[in-house]
Amino acid sequence: MRFLRALFGAGAPPADEAIHLYVRCARCGTIVHVRVDPRNELLLEFDDGGMPAGYRLVKEVMDARCFRLMRAELVYDRSRRERERSIAGGAFATREEYERQQGAATPRSGA
Ligand SMILES: [Zn+2]
């Protein structure tokens, strides 16, 4: 992945911090965990002057129960701090809510 880092150049965000999204389907309530690789999925945006303004992430998510498509959109500043997030077709959930759902649906063995 060295070449990708080279493409981003100096001042690039840390390369190996995955972004974890948890979204709840508005129809069936299933919470889906999505792991986003920022190296591949963050889009660099530029301001009117042509300077890097920040990053945008657009992620389409489908739950495994009713297969409804949700569309999450997150905006980050140049330091990759989250500025805003929105989602169509669902709602953002927390990791705790997701893990609670996992525990209720499929008891894990050997954990
Ligand atoms: Zn659903």
Q: Which one is predicted more confidently, 75 or 16?
A: 75
pTM listed for this prediction: 0.74
Q: Cα of 96 to ligand 1 centre, how many Å?
A: 19
The mean pLDDT of the chain is 87
Q: Cα of 67 to ligand 1 centre, how many Å?
A: 6
Q: Grade residue 3 by pLDDT with cuts at 50, 70 and 90.
A: low
Q: Grade residue 97 by pLDDT with cuts at 50, 70 and 90.
A: very high
Q: Cα of 65 to ligand 1 centre, how many Å?
A: 5
Specify the pLDDT at position 17: 82
Residues whose CB is less than 8 angstroms from the CB of residue 109 and which lie 6 or more positions away in sequence, other chains included:
none
Q: Cα of 46 to ligand 1 centre, how many Å?
A: 35
Torsion-angle region of 11 (φ positive above 0: left; ψ -120 to 50: alpha; else: beta): left
Q: Cα of 20 to ligand 1 centre, how many Å?
A: 19
Specify the pLDDT at position 68: 94
